[in-house]
Amino acid sequence: MKNPFTSIRLFYKETMTELKKASWPSKAELRDSTIVVLLATAILGSFIALTDFSLMNGVELLTSWVQ
């Protein structure tokens, strides 16, 4: 029977090797990327809220005309 800890140790070693090869962003790049993501999220959220509000009022207007 194969020792499961050998597989875990090998996985950990290979993961650490690959992480050392990765290029990590500088603090400035990380800050700029975070700002872009937050702004994009705010813009998309505002667009969805405005669209939802407009469609809700449009449907209410149409249903009030039918009654």
Cα 60 versus chain centre, distance: 33
Q: How confident is the model at residue 13, as a pLDDT? A: 96
Separation of alpha carbons 34 and 40, rounded Å: 10
| Structure confidence at residue 1 (pLDDT) | 65
Taking a C-beta distance cutoff of 8 angstroms, is the pair 25, 33 a contact?
Answer: yes
Reading the chain (67 residues) residue by residue, the pLDDT tens digits are 678 889 899 999 999 999 999 999 999 999 999 999 999 999 999 999 999 999 999 999 999 988 7
What pLDDT is stored for residue 4 in this prediction? 80
Question: pTM for this one?
Answer: 0.63
